[in-house]
Amino acid sequence: MDFQISITGFVAIYVFMLAAFAGWVIIGNVPAILHTPLMSGSNFVHGIVVVGGIYALLNASTVQEQVIGFFAVLLGAGNAAGGYAVTDRMLAMFKTSEHRPAQAKSGRVKSNHAKKT
């Protein structure tokens, strides 16, 4: 199966600008409480970017194309890994701690009242 896609420069710029505008409109209308699930979804999209970079790298014929493909894979993988780390950190903020610090472990209760002399 032979599959080729050719995108000229202006079409690529048009697709990029259309994607940027759609992303700006979509993210601008998302409430703040849904930012964490949206971030997880964007990590999935970055995974697709990594697959596209690998595809471009495997089909590169010149050294310049190989360098661009290498940096695309490197930056896409770093962005996806960083996104997952930030999402994990944000989800950890919503977890409740099950272990409360024991204040009266020694049998003595601290008094919050100041001693009168």
* Per-residue pLDDT tens digits for 9-20: 888 888 889 999
Q: Ramachandran region of residue 14, left (φ > 0), alpha (ψ -120 to 50) or beta?
A: alpha
* Per-residue pLDDT tens digits for 34-90: 777 777 777 778 888 888 889 888 888 899 989 988 988 998 888 888 888 887 887
Q: Which residues contact 73 (CB under 8 A, 6 or more apart)?
A: 50, 53, 54, 57
